[in-house]
Structure 1
Amino acid sequence: MTESSGPSSAPPPPPGGGIAPGSPAYRRANLALFLAGFATFSLLYCVQPLLPELVAEFGVSPAHSSLALSLTTSLLAVAILCAAALSEGFGRRGLMFGSLIGAATLNLAAALAPSWSLLLVLRALEGLALGGVPAVAMAYLAEEIEPRGLGRAMGLYIGGTALGGMLGRVITGHLVEAFSWRVAVGGIGLAGLVAAIGFLLLLPPSRNFTPRRGFDPHFHLAAWGRHLASPALRLLFATGFLAMGTFVALFNYIGFRLTAPPYEFSQGTLGMIFVVYVFGIASSWAAGALIDRFGRRLVLPGAAVATGLGVALTLPGGLVPMLAGLILFTLGFFLTHAIASGWVGRVAVGTKGHAASLYLLAYYVGSSVVGSTAGWFWTAGGWTAIALFLLALLGLELLVALRLRAVTAP
Structure 2
Amino acid sequence: MSPASTGASVTLDARTPVPTSPTPAPADSRLTPGGPGYRRMSFALFLAGVATFALLYSTQALLPLISDDYGVAAGEASWTVAAATGGLALFVLPMSALSERFGRRTVMTASLMVAVAVGLLVPFAPSIGALVALRAVQGAALAGLPASATAYLAEEVRPKALVTAIGLFVAGNSVGGMSGRVITGWVAQEWGWRIAVGVIGLVAVGCAVAFRLLLPAPKHFEAGSLRPRVLARAVRDHLSSPLLRRLYAIGALFMTVFGGVYTVIGYRLTEAPFSLPQGIIGSIFLVYLVGTVSASSAGRLVGRLGRRGALYTAGGTTAAGLLLSLVPSLPLVLLGLVLITAGFFAGHAVASSAVGKTATHGRAQATALYQSSYYIGSSAGSTVGALAFHSGGWAGTVGVGLLAVMGVVAITALGTLAARTAARREAVPAH
Q: What band does the TM-score fall into relative to the shorter chain?
A: over 0.9
Unmatched segments (≥5 aa) in structure 1 = 1-12
Alignment-derived partner of residue 380 in structure 1: 391
Secondary structure in 1 matching 2:31? coil
Unmatched segments (≥5 aa) in structure 2 = 1-24, 424-431
| Cα distance in 1 for residues equivalent to 2:129 and 2:258 | 26
Query: Does structure 2 retain, via aligned residues, the 8 Å contact 1:14–1:144?
Result: no
Q: CA deviation at 1:293?
A: 2.0
Alignment-derived partner of residue 356 in structure 2: 345
Amino acid corresponding to residue 299 of structure 1 in structure 2: A
Q: Does 1:181 align with 2:177?
A: no
Alignment-derived partner of residue 331 in structure 1: 342
Q: CA deviation at 1:15?
A: 9.5
Alignment-derived partner of residue 68 in structure 1: 80
| Cα distance in 2 for residues equivalent to 1:407 and 1:77 | 29
Q: Does 1:309 align with 2:320?
A: yes
Alignment-derived partner of residue 228 in structure 2: 217
Query: Does structure 2 retain, via aligned residues, the 8 Å contact 1:103–1:127?
Result: yes
| Cα distance in 1 for residues equivalent to 2:57 and 2:27 | 38
Q: CA deviation at 1:158?
A: 0.5
Alignment-derived partner of residue 245 in structure 1: 256
1:54 aligned to which of 61, 66, 73? 66
Q: CA deviation at 1:322?
A: 0.9
Alignment-derived partner of residue 7 in structure 1: none
Amino acid corresponding to residue 121 of structure 2 in structure 1: A
2:381 aligned to which of 356, 367, 370? 370
Q: CA deviation at 1:16?
A: 7.0
Alignment-derived partner of residue 259 in structure 1: 270
Secondary structure in 2 matching 1:19? coil
Deviations 1:157-194 (A, max 9, x none): 00000000000100000110121111110111111111
Q: CA deviation at 1:121?
A: 1.2
Alignment-derived partner of residue 322 in structure 1: 333
Secondary structure in 2 matching 1:340? helix
Deviations 1:225-259 (A, max 9, x none): 00000000000000011000110101111111100
Q: Flag the structure with larger Rg.
A: 2
Amino acid corresponding to residue 140 of structure 2 in structure 1: L
Q: CA deviation at 1:212?
A: 2.8
Query: Does structure 1 retain, via aligned residues, the 8 Å contact 2:258–2:381?
Result: no
| Cα distance in 2 for residues equivalent to 1:290 and 1:34 | 21
Amino acid corresponding to residue 381 of structure 1 in structure 2: G
Secondary structure in 2 matching 1:261? coil
| Cα distance in 2 for residues equivalent to 1:132 and 1:185 | 22
| Cα distance in 1 for residues equivalent to 2:321 and 2:260 | 14
1:108 aligned to which of 120, 140, 156? 120
Question: How is 1:59-138 mapped onto 2 (pairs within 5 angstroms)?
Answer: 59-138=71-150
Count residues with an aligned counterpart: 397
Query: Does structure 2 retain, via aligned residues, the 8 Å contact 1:42–1:164?
Result: yes
Alignment-derived partner of residue 369 in structure 2: 358
Secondary structure in 2 matching 1:18? coil
What percentage of residue pairs aligned between the two structures are identical? 41
| Cα distance in 2 for residues equivalent to 1:70 and 1:260 | 23
| Cα distance in 2 for residues equivalent to 1:389 and 1:203 | 39
| Cα distance in 1 for residues equivalent to 2:358 and 2:161 | 16
Query: Does structure 2 retain, via aligned residues, the 8 Å contact 1:21–1:146?
Result: no
Deviations 1:37-64 (A, max 9, x none): 1100000011101000000000111000
Secondary structure in 1 matching 2:218? coil
2:310 aligned to which of 294, 299, 305? 299
Alignment-derived partner of residue 218 in structure 2: 206
Secondary structure in 1 matching 2:155? helix
Q: CA deviation at 1:24?
A: 2.6
Secondary structure in 2 matching 1:295? helix
Alignment CA distance shift 1:309-1:77 (3 Å): same
| Cα distance in 2 for residues equivalent to 1:229 and 1:96 | 28
Alignment-derived partner of residue 286 in structure 1: 297
Secondary structure in 1 matching 2:276? coil
Secondary structure in 2 matching 1:24? coil
- Which protein, 1 or 2, shows the higher relative CO under an 8 Å CA cutoff with sep ≥ 6? 1
| Cα distance in 1 for residues equivalent to 2:415 and 2:368 | 20
Q: CA deviation at 1:287?
A: 0.8
Amino acid corresponding to residue 168 of structure 1 in structure 2: G
Q: CA deviation at 1:375?
A: 2.0
Query: Does structure 1 retain, via aligned residues, the 8 Å contact 2:89–2:371?
Result: yes
1:395 aligned to which of 403, 406, 415? 406
- What's the TM-score, normalizing by structure 1? 0.94
